[in-house]
Amino acid sequence: MPVSKKSQSSPKKAPPLTLGAYVHALRTSAGMSLRALQVKTGISLSSLCRIERGGHVPSIQGNVEALDRLWQALGGDMDRMLYLSRRCPLCDGTGTLKEWKE
């Protein structure tokens, strides 16, 4: 039986894991809304939205207490959360933007 071209295509490459993607995955798998996460953590809704969209939020990413509140609310792996908080693709986790190179 011939194999379709669709099954021969290469598998999709997963996007790089970011803090935002990790927080979003934990939150949605827990069935929690952003508003509920805001209430549990005390972190502003705008900051939570920005993180989930992949933006850099120094007040959270550089703040172990804020990361701990996220971890307490969502569970997951705290080591991964700490690691990802320092992996901002635009600023290397420093809060200072890198020069954009194409």
At residue 64, the pLDDT reads: 80
Top-tier CATH class for 19-85 = mainly alpha
Q: How far apart are CA 54 and CA 73, in angstroms?
A: 19
Q: How far apart are CA 89 and CA 17, in angstroms?
A: 11
pTM: 0.68
H or E segment to which residue 49 belongs: helix 45-52
**Pick from 72, 95, 70: which is nearest to 19 by CA?**
70
DSSP labels, 54-69 = T---HHHHT-HHHHHH
Q: How far apart are CA 47 and CA 27, in angstroms?
A: 15
Task: Please name the residue that has the structure tokens 């990413």.
Answer: 61
Q: How far apart are CA 42 and CA 68, in angstroms?
A: 12
User: Of the given ranges (20-29, 33-42, 60-69), which has the lowest mean pLDDT?
Assistant: 60-69
Tell me the pLDDT tens digit for each residue of 47-87. 899 888 887 777 677 778 888 899 999 998 888 888 888 75
